[in-house]
Each structure stands twice: as structure tokens, then as C-alpha cells.
A and B are shown apart, each in its own frame.
Chain A
Amino acid sequence: MSRYDAMFRRLDAQREGAFGAFVMLGDPDLETSAGILDALVEGGADMLEVGIPFSDPVADGPVIQAAAVRALGRGVTPADCFALLTDFRARHPEIPVGVLTYANIVVARGREAFYAAARAAGVDSVLVADVPLFEAPPYLEAARAAAVAPVLIAAPNTPEQTLRRLAREGAGYTYCVARSGVTGADEEVRFAHSQLLGTLRAFGAPPPVFGFGISRPDHVASAIEAGAAGVISGSAIVRLIADNRGGEAEAVRGFVAGMKAATRR
């Protein structure tokens, strides 16, 4: 059973949703980043989503862009990121880890080589932010060849025929974009997703996890209540890292604990 399946099964039995924490690898530097990953697990994160920094992250808002700039400013490379994840996996054998990056980072290494490196580093899934289903076939093939789950994105405006294919082709979980726009930590979020969730369920898609804008425990609670199998919070955590120089791990540990507490059904 995959780590994602095992996690969703365990959480279902405990009547909890999954809390996913997103950080940019190598932000603010590789050593601190390793400590932050541990702190996310200690805080209670059920799954990690980690970014490999790219120079032109068009799906990201200013907070996560700034994290990529910090990491790239320290010379962090994809190879460094995979090394960081390999070490992390040795310390944490169970938690699902997903990589989020952009197409050019994947093709620069070569699609097959990229997915193989991800697999070797203990990565469970890869989401390529600028590869829609329309362009996905060669990425899906490379992911499957390396036994990495290709995570696909479902948005409120994604047409039904695309959702049908996405349900068949995606694996791990389905990343449901909670709203239009780029990533960011919102004050208010609303989840008018019953139709999207119903369609995904009907097509047998991997469990829906909500992302984009989720920054407070009440957002988590309302997403779980709306039917999400889990949530991913990114910008709020990344902002804590930026605002707590020297105390990053403590800051994110406490934040994650508060968010995780809100996943109980």
C-alpha cells in the first residue's frame, strides 16, 4: 500500500482529515530547511508537500516566490533538494512526501531521470504546477515508470471531461485548487466545492486535498467539513519561516499543531 493510501486509511479510522504542510526546500538554507522538515512532522503534519525552487514560479504568489528567491540565492539546486529529502526519508520512513515544481526543472534533468531521482529520494508524488492534463501524458508515463504518483490539479472551473480523465490518471491525492489565482495566505476562504467534490467522487478520483489560501485553523475545519480529505497550507508556513529568523522550527511546529487540531471531524 502506498504511503498516501496508508495515511488516508489511518486518518479515516481516526475520523480526521489530513494536514499537509508545504515549504520550499532550501529556504532559508539547506541546514535550516532540514530542521524545518522535522519540525513539521513533530507539529503533527500528516503529509509534506515540498517545493524545488524555480526561477519563474508563475503559479505562486509573492510569499512563495520570495522563498524560491531565498533558496536560489543560497545556490540551492534540485540535486541539493533530493539529497535533503533522502536524509529526511531516512529519519521519517512513513510520512508521505510530495514534490511540487515546474516543468522546466523536470525537463532540464530529463523527465525519466527527474522522476527516478525523486523516487530514489523517497518521494511519493510529484506535482508539476505548469503541466495541465493537456500536456501531462509524457509526465504521467515517466512518473509511473519510476513508481511515483502523479498528482493532478482540479479547479472549480475544470470541465467534467477533464475531471474524468484526471480521476483515472492522477494518483496519491487530487490537488483541489480552493480558488482562482496564485498561492497565498487569505483572510477569508469559502468552499463552494460540493459539485467538484461530487464529480471527483463519482469518477473515483484520488482523495481531494484542498490548497491555496488556507492559513487558519477555521479554514481547515471548513474545508474538512466541505468534504475535503485533507488540506495543504503553504504560504502561511513559508511566511512564518521568513518572519522568524533563527526560530523557524519552533514557529512552524506550533503553527502546524494548531492547524492539525482543526482536522478532527
Chain B
Amino acid sequence: MLMNGRFGAFGGAYVPEILMPALEALEQAFVDAQKDEAFRAELDELLVKYAGRPTPLTRCRNLGNARVRIYLKREDLLHGGAHKTNQVLAQTLLAKRMGKTRIIAETGAGQHGVATALAGALFGLKTRIYMGAHDVERQKLNVFRMQLMGAEVIPVTSGGQTLKDAVNEALRDWTASFEDTHYLLGTVAGPHPFPLMVREFQRIIGQEARAQILEEEGRLPDAVIACVGGGSNAMGMFADFVDDEGVRLIGVEAGGRGIDGDEHGATLLRGRPGILHGSETYLLQDRDGQVADTWSVSAGLDYPAVGPEHSFLKDSGRAEYVGATDREALAAFALLARTEGIVCAFESAHALAHALNMAEAAQEETILVVNLSGRGDKDMEQAQRLLAGDAA
């Protein structure tokens, strides 16, 4: 390895020895590509002309109040329906550079699977997506979208049948297939170099947002807020604000049915450091180190670990992490639709829910930037059922 792959005490590369050469080759390809203007140019062109960057920063007309202005970074408008496309296009170009002919990925909500499927179609790569059987059930529309673009979707029936189990299966596939296959990991988790590489490929979110808010308001925001499952949209948003000391970085975890019970995905709030999926990081686990099953209404946040850089930002105190429950997220989701005419993903609704709480509590003039990481089409069926249940 060229780097130690650590964020303070967190990160690293905990994989079977047989995968180390594949990680080393990936790290080298990433480092080379970052220095290669042709790579940057091709990626930029894809991001602009294919994916639709830059995405707007929308000031809410109706949410917020006399003191608080809420801005939404509209990753929901990106091609593919979420921020995932940013880094998937970049990793796919890397896969091509490395001469790989096949890509595999895990997916929770299906957004990363959809992004991988579209890139696989665009570049003519054989594409396989691992998805927990429980998630296949609750995100059927995304499964169909992936299949429509030519990807093979494999339901994973082990464990809690969600994102964690899909990552396990993808890693198993990769230990047998690394010679012709790139594992297109979907978030800032996993072994080095994924956490660093995915952050760099998502950094554009915060880069744009920072420039846009300065243009709009003439000053930096008081806080940037993003949901955290694995944590890629949050790291993408935070990365360019880390050095702006006056800007609070707030990650919102899945509170599920309440973080004081067992049914949530609040890794940083309720976990303790451990090792899963290649990385030393906060982890929801029992006393013996068995990894816990998680719960969240949003499949994308239903994950017992978290990107190691978030663990570092938590322990160093630079970022704050809070939770939003299923109920709070669902309420924010419905409110955004009704007041702003925007249907966001359940995942992103967690970030918005916290912003709304902050807006209510604010005593001073405050500017908040919420990363609206994805759109809600995939959640329509579930929303219909859950909101009808609430009304009854």
C-alpha cells in the first residue's frame, strides 16, 4: 500500500490476504488517475453532460422561518436519482483503466445499484448487484430499474437480509473474481482505499454547495446536514467544509423505532469501535463482537457500521451526529412534498427532519444546507402504505 489508509485510529484494510493485491492495484490506479488530466476531463464531461452536474442549491420557499433559511443541495436531480452516480462514474472509469470487464456492487435502497447498473450499461460492462432479500422486497421499483439496464440482481438471504449481508456477498464474489472484476463499493466504508477514494469522488457535492451558498448569501452556512448510513453523501458534503471552523457538520443517523431500543441504525450514537467489512470503525455489536441486525424505514441507512472517517470526525469532535426516527423522517418527507413540491428519498428525509428541528429551536439568524441526497420515487409504494397507516 502507498498510504496507511487510516483516519486517526480508524480505517485500515482488514480483508483476506488474497484481496490485498487487488486493493493495492486499485489504490495505485486511483492515485494515478487523480494526477491524470485526461481522466479528470473525461469524468468532468460525464458528470456535466451525462449526469447533469452541477446540481442546484435550492432555497426552500416555505420551509424554515423568519430567522432560518434552509437550502437543499439537489442531488436528487442527478441522473440515477441520487448522489451515488458521482462516484460510480468515477469508479467505472477506473475499472476501465484497470482493464476490468465486470463490475459488482452491493446496494441497500437500490440507489447505488441503479447507479452501477447505468454505468455498466454505458460502458458495456457485465454488472451484478447484490441486494438483501428484505431490501429487494421493499425497493422493488429500483430492482426493476437495475434489471432494465441489464444488471443481474442477486437477492441475498443470509443474516438480516439487508445492506450488511449484501456487502458480505459482494466481498465473497470479489475474492474469487478480482482478476477481471472491479468491486464498485457504494460508500465511504470498506477497506482502504475505498473510504478515501469514494470521499474524493463525492467531494464535488460540498465543493459546489460551498460556492453556491457564498454566491447566494455572501457567507458560509451555519451548518451542513446530511444523512449517514455508510456515509458517502455526508462525506461528500462535509469534505470541503471541514476546514471552515464556523460551519457545523451534522450527520443524521437512522433512529429507526427509537435509539434507546434495538431497532435502529444509529452506529455512531450507539455503537463502539470494531472491525467489519475491511474497516476499523464504530459498529453496532454485542459484547462478544457479533454484529447486530439494524432497522430503519430507509434501506439506505439500515447498516450496522459506518465509514471510518465519520468515526474519526466524531471522536475528534469536528462533526456532530444525531438521530432521526422513522416517524420524524416520514413526517419530513411528507412535509417537503406538500410545502416545496419535492419528493425526496426516505434517507434524505432524515437529514431534513433534523434541519426542521434546528429551525424550530433557532434563536438567531441561521443558514442551513441540507444534502437532499436522493429522490423518492423508489419509496412511493412504501410511503403510500406508511402514510395511510398514519392517517388511520
Chain A interface (Cβ < 8 Å from any Cβ of B): 54-59, 61, 65, 69, 72, 77-79, 102-109, 129-135, 152-155, 157-159, 162, 177, 180-182
B214-239 CB mask vs A (1 if < 8 Å, else 0) is 00000000000000000000000000
Given the complex, which residues of B lie within 8 Å of A181, measured CB to CB?
Answer: 172, 175-176
6 A–B contacts, CB within 8 A, in A order: A79-B288, A105-B289, A132-B20, A134-B13, A153-B18, A158-B21
Given the complex, which residues of B lie within 8 Å of A55, measured CB to CB?
Answer: 159, 290-291
- Identify which of B72-80, B142-150, B271-279 touches chain A: B271-279
Q: Using A55-B291, A132-B13 as known contacts, list a sample of 20 further A-B pairs with CB atoms less than 8 Å apart, ordered by residue number in A.
A: A58-B15, A58-B175, A59-B16, A65-B158, A77-B288, A103-B275, A104-B275, A104-B291, A107-B274, A107-B289, A108-B289, A109-B288, A132-B19, A133-B17, A134-B13, A135-B14, A157-B18, A158-B18, A162-B17, A181-B175
From known contacts A78-B288, A135-B13, infer whether A107 and B275 are also in contact, taking CB-CB under 8 Å: yes
**B-side interface mostly:** mixed
Given the complex, which residues of A lie within 8 Å of B28, measured CB to CB?
Answer: none
Contact (Cβ within 8 A) B291 A129: no
Within 8 Å of chain A (Cβ to Cβ): is B171?
Answer: yes
Residue of B nearest to A65 (CB): B158
From known contacts A104-B283, A181-B176, A182-B172, infer whether A56 and B16 are also in contact, taking CB-CB under 8 Å: no
Once bound together, how far apart are the Cα atoms of A262 and B274, in whole Å? 42
B3-44 CB mask vs A (1 if < 8 Å, else 0) is 000000000111111111100000000000000000000000
Within 8 Å of chain A (Cβ to Cβ): is B285?
Answer: yes
Within 8 Å of chain A (Cβ to Cβ): is B49?
Answer: no
Q: Which 7 A-B pairs have the closest CB atoms?
A: A108-B289, A181-B176, A155-B18, A103-B275, A153-B17, A104-B289, A55-B290
Within 8 Å of chain A (Cβ to Cβ): is B1?
Answer: yes
Contact (Cβ within 8 A) B17 A152: yes
From known contacts A58-B168, A104-B283, A104-B285, infer whether A180 and B291 are also in contact, taking CB-CB under 8 Å: no
B7 to chain A, nearest CB (A): 15
Contact (Cβ within 8 A) B15 A132: yes
Once bound together, how far apart are the Cα atoms of A57 and B258, in whole Å? 29
Once bound together, how far apart are the Cα atoms of A264 and B326, in whole Å? 63
Residue of B17, B287, B288, B289 near A155 (CB, 8 A) is B17
Residue of B nearest to A136 (CB): B17
Once bound together, how far apart are the Cα atoms of A55 and B172, in whole Å? 15
Within 8 Å of chain A (Cβ to Cβ): is B83?
Answer: no
From known contacts A103-B14, A155-B17, A177-B18, infer whether A130 and B274 are also in contact, taking CB-CB under 8 Å: no
B163 to chain A, nearest CB (A): 12
Contact (Cβ within 8 A) B175 A134: no
Contact (Cβ within 8 A) A56 B20: no
Once bound together, how far apart are the Cα atoms of A31 and B179, in whole Å? 43
From known contacts A104-B291, A130-B275, A134-B1, infer whether A153 and B164 are also in contact, taking CB-CB under 8 Å: no
Given the complex, which residues of A lie within 8 Å of B168, measured CB to CB?
Answer: 56-58
Contact (Cβ within 8 A) B288 A130: no
Residue of B nearest to A175 (CB): B17
Residue of A58, A78, A105, A162 near B172 (CB, 8 A) is A58
Given the complex, which residues of B lie within 8 Å of A153, measured CB to CB?
Answer: 16-18
Once bound together, how far apart are the Cα atoms of A157 and B18, in whole Å? 7
B125 to chain A, nearest CB (A): 20
Residue of B nearest to A58 (CB): B171
Residue of A72, A105, A109, A154 near B17 (CB, 8 A) is A154
Once bound together, how far apart are the Cα atoms of A105 and B164, in whole Å? 17
A172 to chain B, nearest CB (A): 16
Given the complex, which residues of A lie within 8 Å of B177, measured CB to CB?
Answer: 180
